[in-house]
């Protein structure tokens, strides 16, 4: 499997990659789906939510993070990407509140793994997608 900045590897058990048994939204997860959602919805979702989603992404791609933590991250990212939400993203003002709650919960689970390198990677991705001004808004 190709490893690069936008790839998450799951644990290898000697015969293949272990499959995580996560909730139904994990099937919606893909790196492409995440970045499409981020770039298409930055104004509605807000940079803070996108920054947290990217931090989760970079935590999940770290091979030293336990599989159960990565599984607990991928499902919320799948929910964030999913067009089917508890509160549809198109609903004014309220549309991303459910996504924010799910991402916040995943951040609590992953907090021990959110280090300076993860934050730097998330900021660099925001910079590459939206420019320097977007990163300045995060401070």
- CA Rg, the chain, in Å? 15
Mean pLDDT (the chain) is 75
The pLDDT-based confidence of 24 (bands split at 50, 70, 90) is low
Q: Please, are residues 89 and 38 in contact by the beta-carbon 8 Å criterion?
A: no
| Closest C-alpha among 135, 121, 27, 14 to residue 81 | 27
Assigned token pair, 55? 């931090």
DSSP string, 44-112: HH-HHHHHHHHHHHHHHT-TTS-HHHHHHHHHHHHHHH-S--SS-TTSTTTTTHHHHHHHHHHHHHHGG
The string of pLDDT tens digits covering residues 96-113 is: 677 888 899 999 999 999
Q: What is the pTM of this model?
A: 0.67
d(CA 70, CA 66): 6
Torsion of CA 82, 85, 91, 92, to 10 degrees: -70
């Amino acid at each position: 499997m190709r490893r690069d900045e936008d790839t998450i590897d799951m644990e290898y058990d000697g015969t293949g990659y272990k499959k995580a048994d996560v909730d139904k939204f994990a099937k919606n997860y893909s790196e492409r789906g995440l970045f499409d959602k981020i770039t298409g919805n930055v104004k509605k979702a807000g940079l803070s939510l996108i920054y947290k989603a990217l931090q989760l992404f970079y935590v999940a791609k770290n091979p030293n993070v336990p599989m159960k933590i990565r599984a607990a991250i991928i499902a919320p990212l799948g929910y964030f990407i999913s067009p089917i939400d508890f509160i549809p993203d198109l609903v004014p003002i309220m549309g991303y509140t459910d996504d924010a709650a799910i991402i916040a919960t995943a951040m609590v689970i992953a907090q021990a793994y959110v280090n300076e390198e993860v934050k730097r990677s998330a900021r660099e991705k925001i910079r590459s997608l939206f420019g320097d001004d977007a990163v300045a808004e995060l401070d």
